[in-house]
Amino acid sequence: MKEPSPTPVDVHSDAFLARLMRDQLKLSIACALAFAVALVALPLLNYFQPEMMAQRVFGFTLTWLILGVLFFPFVWIISYVFIRRSIALENAEAQAAQDGRTK
Amino acid sequence: MNALLACLAAAEPAAKGIDPWIAFFSLITVVVTVGMGFWTAGKSKSAGDFFVAGRSVSVGWNASAISGEYLSAASFMGVAGMVMATGYDALWYPVCYACGYLFLLLFIAGPLRRFGAYTIPDFAEGRYDSPVFRKIAVCFVLFIGFFYTMPQMKGAGTTLAYIFPGLPYWAGVVVVGAVITLNVSLGGMKGITLVQAFQYWLKVFAITLPIFVLASVVGHYQSHLATNKTAQETTATTLPGIERKALPAKAPKDEAWIAPFGKLTTKAVDASIAAAKTPEEKSALEANKKPYSLLYTYSLIIALVCGTAGLPHILVRFYTNPDGVAAKRTTMWVMILIGVFYVFPPVYGVIGRSLTPELYDAVGAKGTDKVVLELPTLLAGRDHALLGSILSGITCAGAFAAFMSTFSGLLVSMSSALAHDIYGRMLRPASSPEQRLKAFKWSALIVGLVAVGLGSQVEALEINFMVGQAFAIAAASYFPLLFMSVWWRGMTMRGAATGMLVGGLSALASISLTSISDVAVAKAKKLTDAAELAAYWSDHPLAKAIADHWVAHPLARILCEQPAIWAVPLSIGLMVIVSKATAASIPADIRMKMLVLHAPEALGLKQEYIKEHEGLGRALRPRSASPCKPRPSSAFYVFGVKLLLFINK
């Protein structure tokens, strides 16, 4: 939970809205980047490093193991992090706004 | 039930070799689903009760229900069939279906939930105060809906043709289409948490149990994969106890199948290479093969990840939670539930390649799309005859659950769009609720008929491929609309409409071109006689011209088959340019709208907004007092409730 902001927050100010959208977008983009990097990188690795990606791991090829099995837990981790952070962010925003209103 | 079964068997004397267990499990699924729909509909006596079902259930039930709605025939049958047919590249489908859901969660679900818009037309109208824009958005519900019903119908036709071996493909489509359409128009509606949750667990059970039993008898996922030779290996691995039947000539070779950039992404260039006349042409095309495949892969990824956001029946489900925190927890569980499911369909594809290679030779409903149904019966040849039949019956039941849930969901949202928006608002604004109800039933019949008509034409196309196309259209129309409207204050109605229409329609047009020519080519392939073939092509000059164009220009073919890579940027670009040009028409209360979209629900800003703008923005008007309860404000839900109440009278 964030410290109550030192200056009163006016929920109807442009500054509040801009900060709100910026914080949310920052969190979303950070999480999206994590999986976008994976989605962009895997085809590139397949393209430039075919021998490495064709190595056998437990009978799978490396690239098959990544895409067919490991990708799903990876997506779970990203969504877990996002959900925790966004609940915390929302609580902090609500707290800040309510402090601003009571002042 | 057995009596019914006997009747069914007696009524189908032409159909030889019906396995009673398979028919039994499939019939039970249909009866239970239809029965549960009516039973729960009968229990909700008031509009309040109808929504309590969404509110009072736990996170676990709700997550199961969402997942049940999400997993269609494409996930259940299509992924396995495509992995078997094309190998590694098809793995992108299940991965991107799951990633798409994450993308929706990151950028779109939260703001739309706060805004209280339950459907995309609701959002379009509320965000831009424009009933006209609502109508444009409704048209896309129908476009995308029809593209998404086609693969479900293919799943239905394939499954019925499998259960009743004598039945032609089109008859299966007609039977299943008629049953579901009747069910929806008589009021056994879905959208009810219990039925959806049941369908999820049925699907998971039906995909996992048979494969575990099968793998313990014939060998595991990785063992079967290990027997496929990679390009780097000099000899094929053989493992004790792992059987591999000889592959027919039509099947892709091991090296191409197990590695990336295989048949799925290279077939356009391969067709051109086969038609090339000089060796120079051939080698020039050969050099382009891999870069084009990379392009294809990226375009596919964009279509699937962005397209999930635009499917008409997915967004609604975000609102059946008591508050934002529960909604987010539910989403986490949905990610896990669908992720667990998606690990399994490729296993069928891999084992199917080893043990049922004869499917490569068959076309249409008898091809690889039915590998999920076919594989368990192999146990019969290994002294487990009864077990094989029962397990195959279970996978058939899962397939039924898959296409029934998705098709009836689509039918409800498309019929509502027709009855409420097109009939109730455009044709006859003064119509009474009873008239609209009648219109809903007629709409369901019309939509059902069109869906059956379209579905019976697409036997030659792969289920998963068609779903990918529906996703591509959604990615180029709804996704830019939602994404830009939520995160950019400067969007205007004209900008949004231009981008959505141009992006969506150009994707629709290019995809239709590929499908038309593919269907024609598949029909032509069945003709062996040269004179017949020539006559067929002269009857279809357009399809011939398109097919020839693809051979001459493989890059054009790839860009038309997977248009997302150019259509999504085109749509977003147009939105920005036109919005800048019409900046004067940004809604006056844009700051408040953005605040409602982004401020925490706990602040109750929406209530403030509604007080200030009484009469504006239908989608924002509350139907319940507390800001934390889901408000059944969408036309779709209100209409559904009216329908339920009417039927229960």
Encode pLDDT of B148-191 as tens digits.
Answer: 888 888 888 888 888 887 788 888 888 888 888 877 776 544 44
The reply to whether B93 falls in a domain is yes
Per-residue model confidence (pLDDT) at position B50: 37
Residue A8 lies in a domain: no
Handedness of CA B617, B623, B627, B630 (dihedral sign): negative
DSSP string, B504-542: HHHHHHHHHHHHHHHHHHHHHHH---HHHHHHHHHH-HH
pLDDT of res. B626: 31
Instruction: Report if residue B10 sits inside a domain.
Output: no
Classify residue B13: in a domain, yes or no: no
CA distance B351 to chain A (A): 13
- Spatial separation of the C-alpha atoms in residues B332 and B344, rounded to whole Å: 20
Q: How far, in Å, are B267, B294, B566 from residue B290 at the CA level?
A: 11, 6, 19
A60-72: average pLDDT: 86
A39 CA to chain B: closest CA distance, Å?
8
Tell me which residue range forms the domain holding B586. Answer: 24-246+260-648
In a domain, A19, yes or no: yes
Q: What is the ipTM of this complex?
A: 0.84
What is the structure's pLDDT at B566?
93
Residue B530 lies in a domain: yes
* Environment class of B188 (CB within 10 Å of its CB; exposed 0-12, middle 13-18, buried 19+): buried
CB contact under 8 A, A21 and B332: no
> Is B6 contained in some domain?
no
CB nearest to A17's CB, from B298, B343, B595 = B595
The confidence score (pLDDT) of residue B9 equals 45
Q: How many structural domains does chain A have?
A: 1
Cα of A21 to nearest chain B Cα, Å: 7
Cβ–Cβ of B600/A93 closer than 8 Å?
yes
pLDDT at position B321 is 64
pLDDT at B573: 94
Average pLDDT, consecutive stretches of 10 residues, N- to C-terminus, chain B (649 residues): 44 55 79 71 46 55 82 83 87 87 83 75 82 83 85 85 82 85 64 72 88 83 78 72 75 79 78 78 79 88 85 65 73 88 90 82 75 81 75 84 80 79 75 75 87 85 82 89 87 89 90 83 78 80 80 82 90 92 81 78 63 45 34 45 45
> Which residue from B220, B225, B339 is facing A76, i.e. has the nearest CB?
B339
Residue B255 is assigned to a structural domain of this protein? no
Q: How many CA atoms lie within 13 A of B295 on its CB side?
A: 20
Per-residue model confidence (pLDDT) at position B623: 35
Domain membership of residue A1 (yes or no) is no
CATH of residue B285's domain is 1.20.1730.10
**How many separate domains does chain B show?**
1
Q: Do A98 and B103 touch (CB under 8 A)?
A: no
pLDDT in tens, B345-394: 999 888 888 888 887 777 766 778 888 888 888 777 766 677 778 888 88
Pairwise CA distance, residues B550 & B512, whole Å: 14
How confident is the model at residue B417, as a pLDDT? 78
- Backbone torsions φ then ψ of B472, nearest 5 degrees: -65, -40
Predicted local distance difference test score (pLDDT) of residue B140: 82
Let me know if residue B132 belongs to a domain.
yes
How many other C-beta atoms are found inside a 10 Å radius of the C-beta of residue B645? 16
In chain B, residues 249-288 whose CB comes closer than 8 Å to chain A = 258-261
pLDDT (0 to 100) of residue A41: 87
Is B230's CB within 8 Å of A63's CB?
Answer: no
Residue A9 lies inside a defined structural domain of this protein: no
Q: Is B324 on the interface with A (CB under 8 A)?
A: yes
> Could A79 and B335 be called an inter-chain contact, meaning their C-beta atoms sit closer than 8 Å?
yes
Q: Which amino acid is at B167?
A: L
Return the residue in B106, B234, B337 with the most chain A beta carbons within 10 A, the one to mutate for interface testing.
Answer: B106
Apex B170 CA angle, B167 and B174, nearest 5: 100
Domain extent for A20: 14-102
Q: Does the residue B620 lie in any domain? A: yes
Q: How far is B596 from chain A (nearest CA, A)?
A: 10
